Amino acid sequence: MSTITAPEEQRVLDAVPKQLYIGGEWREGSKGTLPVEDPATGETLVEVADASAGDAKSALDAAVEAGPEWAQCPPRERGEILRRAFDTIIERTDELALLMTLEMGKPIKESKAEIAYGAEFLRWFSEQAVRIDGRYAVAPNGQGRLLTMKQPVGPCLLITPWNFPLAMGTRKIGPAVAAGCTTVVKPAQQTPLSLLMLAKILEESGLPKGVLNLITASSASESTGPLISDPRLRKLSFTGSTEVGRKLMEQASQNLLRLSMELGGNAPFIVFEDADVDDAVRGALIAKMRNVGEACTAANRFHVAEPAAEQFAEKLAEKMGSLKVGRGTEDGVEVGPLINEEQREKVSALVDDAVGKGARALVGGHARDGAGYFYDPTVLADVPEGAELLREEIFGPVAPVKGFADEDEAIAAANDTEFGLVAYVYTSNLKRALRVVERLETGMVGLNQGMVSNPAAPFGGIKQSGFGREGGPEGIEEYLETKYVAVNL
């Protein structure tokens, strides 16, 4: 790969529709426009439409109007629209990856990986659309029949975060469309461009007007609040912080909306003394550095058996220290900027707190001077119990390492968090592996591997990481209601 030129960047930005997509029409926002920034330079890339509460209501009107016809559309047709969109995304990977890097900052190679991952949700759910089924049973007393059918939930509001600009959208849009639901999509204001392109691709793939409506807005609460309290909405699927998730749940309680909540994480990465240390370090690098550490699944703290802790921390520091930091469009860059100054300040404060309480920075520990929101990959050894970053989601390229004495202590430390999204375990002992996996309080576990995300598997958390599952056979169930019919024979 060679460094990308400014005209190439401009071409990709010019191709993005910058308006609201409502009822199959592209239209201006009633509140004017809002800027989308390049986190590697701090400069504005483009302006996109800024939706008012009225625009959001028009989007829901369109979703409600399109609902009955879309629910009747043959599943095969629904699936084929998704499949065509998948093919287009894959064909246009280079362009879409550049767009993603410009708005979110991660290196092109990682954006390409997200394009593949994000597109796969459309292919997976194109295949699931034709597998929605029900049950037929004889009542226990033999008198009647019990018929169970699945039907689309109805109009859905889908709110997504900035960290995976495409995949967090396709993980919801894919199953909603496959199930026969109509949608209003609200991407994060920092990274709306990938989903605007997706809306255009779905339009070109034959998605009927009103099935997907997309609004971009400078005020998420002003635009989506009235939709959440509108009795025509049936479901809210949210990916983002636990703090906002709690607020939305409260609002959604008025309407008793169906909810899916994909919230924050604080993943432990446990390495036992019987693990292959080099293998664990390779996995740690993926679990920590994917998406510049800005992933809900990012390993947030490394619990390593005491005899191996020093060696593990040193090897990880060597790898992290050799990563090339820079703008994601530049050749060979492996670590991009953080999303904004606020995020960088949060990461800095967490590292300063840990170092102030006695942790040792083996590598990194500093923000970079100059334009953009860069922070050096950091490994902290001897992290004391009271350090804030053991409790809080770091969302940056920082790896705190802490030793443990035995299995019970490792499990207690891993579970000592309000979050429960994912955990990683490295061990070569099968009995221990299963014992530990069963005791971990998380929705997912990476066993001897540093990544769990897979469109064919149910992604999701427990505890304060939320509920509901995205991907796998479970993913479409979030968009289906069960209707039972008592049949008198």
In sequence order, what DSSP letters do the residues of 412-455 get, joined into one string? HHHH-SSEESEEEEE-S-HHHHHHHHHH--SSEEEES-S----T
In sequence order, what DSSP letters do the residues of 239-305 get, joined into one string? ES-HHHHHHHHHHHHTTT-EEEEE----EEEEE-TTS-HHHHHHHHHHHHHGGGG-STTSEEEEEEE
Q: Where are the alpha helices (DSSP H) in 15-148?
A: 53-72, 75-91, 93-104, 108-128
Closest approach, Cβ 265 to ligand NAP, in A, equals 5
* Torsion sign (Cα): 283, 284, 289, 295: positive
Select 41 or 219, whichever has its Cβ closest to ligand NAP: 219
Closest approach, Cβ 300 to ligand NAP, in A, equals 10
Closest approach, Cβ 340 to ligand NAP, in A, equals 10
Through-space distance between the first and last CA atoms of the chain, rounded to whole angstroms: 68
Select 88 or 160, whichever has its Cβ closest to ligand NAP: 160
Residues 181/156, Cβ–Cβ less than 8 Å: yes
Q: Kindly list the residues in this chain that would bind ligand NAP in the complex (CB under 6 A).
A: 159-163, 168, 186, 188-190, 220-221, 224, 239-241, 244, 247-248, 262-265, 296, 393, 421, 461, 465
Q: Where are the alpha helices (DSSP H) in 322-340?
A: none
Encoded tokens for 140: 């226990």
Looking at the DSSP bridge assignments, the partners of residue 48 are 34
Select 130 or 467, whichever has its Cβ closest to ligand NAP: 467
Select 227 or 379, whichever has its Cβ closest to ligand NAP: 227
Angle at the Cα of 94 from the Cα atoms of 92 and 97, rounded to 5 degrees: 105
Q: Which helix (H) or strand (E) holds 228?
A: helix 220-228
- Tell me phi and psi for residue 378, to 5 degrees: -130, 135
Select 190 or 329, whichever has its Cβ closest to ligand NAP: 190
Q: Which residue's entry shows tokens 């071409």?
A: 11
Burial class from Cβ neighbours inside 10 Å (0-12, 13-18, 19+) for residue 469 reads buried
Select 248 or 338, whichever has its Cβ closest to ligand NAP: 248
Residues 116/90, Cβ–Cβ less than 8 Å: yes
Q: Which of 156, 203, 296, 334 is catalytic?
A: 296
Q: Does 73 qualify as catalytic in the annotation?
A: no
- E-strand stretches of 174-255: 183-186, 212-214, 235-239
Q: Which of 103, 120, 262, 470 is catalytic?
A: 262
Coil/strand/helix, residue 125: helix
Closest approach, Cβ 380 to ligand NAP, in A, equals 20
Closest approach, Cβ 421 to ligand NAP, in A, equals 6
Which among 388, 390, 382 has a CA at the least distance from the CA of 358? 382
User: What is the spatial distance between Cα 3 and Cα 6, in angstroms, rounded to a whole number?
Assistant: 10
User: What is the spatial distance between Cα 366 and Cα 354, in angstroms, rounded to a whole number?
Assistant: 13
Closest approach, Cβ 221 to ligand NAP, in A, equals 4
Residues 265/461, Cβ–Cβ less than 8 Å: yes
Select 308 or 338, whichever has its Cβ closest to ligand NAP: 338
Q: Does 262 qualify as catalytic in the annotation?
A: yes
Report the residue number whose CB is nearest to ligand NAP.
240
Select 163 or 442, whichever has its Cβ closest to ligand NAP: 163
Select 180 or 396, whichever has its Cβ closest to ligand NAP: 396
**Catalytic residue positions?**
262, 296
